[in-house]
Structure 1
């Protein structure tokens, strides 16, 4: 019985192959459960833990999380990789990561996806970023419409986030005039601080504020939910559990 078939230059699953996918996921859950049970028997938090996270949450929360865990569990080797939520979830599903930090703008984990489990981490409130001497920086809050005549710096590294911000502008009746397509929020911040651009950025950025940038509340408020995702079969793995406890504790302290 064939499990795959050629389609043009590509390959796709046959109905038989699609039927087996669900069974394969359940088998892998059981294997993860066995691995977790062995880790419990060792009575030691040690080994390698691979964590994928998108840049804004990685820089805000993970350094303090890793530092705290290293002090208590010196034999736990945490390896971080910056990946956008969609890529982080793919890495988790393919066993290239043990934990992925994701958000609800980019990914939705369906209840049908039996192999993945999530824990709420934080709610990130988006903010308007302006030069500290910008006339609008004195406002207590701003709508996106207030920025209609400004030039924008947008983080284009995350296509999902940049598209989300562009759509916010369109729903307010205008197309943003973008003068900086940036590969990360460091450049966005530099353009904003210089007075060349404005932006709407993750509230997580305020954990490590940049000089010369003022933050103004966005009204109406826009939130994104952030989750910690892991493979369901590893819900009892000691290393996964201590990481979950510490990252939730750290986020609760840093993200308001």
Structure 2
């Protein structure tokens, strides 16, 4: 048994989803499905289901700091991701720990609004996220509305997505993927901009389903899982894209609203 190979370990820094479809629960399920062990730092608690978010309670700084210490004193974290961070104070708390524990392979999913419309990031926290967290992002993964809000630029066509991706890099994110699921059409186009390379598009057929709760969390968690396996970023994004498309194609019926993904269906 002593000859067992070290299993890849990753970290999710986020809020929970008591309905199990998004947030930390989606991250953990995704990482496990993608063959990576998931540790977690819980930043806040939500009362949530497929119908919406009923309540939010950000946790005190002391217990957040203690979670970071517990994780990094025991596990070999190869990559990490952030999810919902709720307000400016908690963004700053997380950034201090990112710096303290020297997290380099950090995927920042700027979770702002839940699928049902509830705000998971206050307006004042957006500025804190831009000024303090973005410069630590190895990869930034906004959807179209999030990309517009972060950049202050409107997106109506593909050329503007490219322009916004470049702007987000100038704000500090080393690499960017802008997710195009909110656009209309039978095809979904995600734009990837890696460091100083030319950007490229990832294309997939749109699957008509209401069971897409937690898609953003799931994609960013899958990328993080593959980065923890020490795959390069391009490969990690490609594999995560394939994983997400695959499980959207295999829905199951849970809840009465925006249903969750079948994370184990890969």
Give the TM-score, by structure 2 length: 0.27
Select the structure that is richer in strand.
1
Q: Return the index of the structure with the highest Cα Rg.
A: 1
Larger RCO of the pair (alpha carbons < 8 Å, separation 6+)? 1
Give the TM-score, by structure 1 length: 0.28
Select the structure that is richer in helix.
1
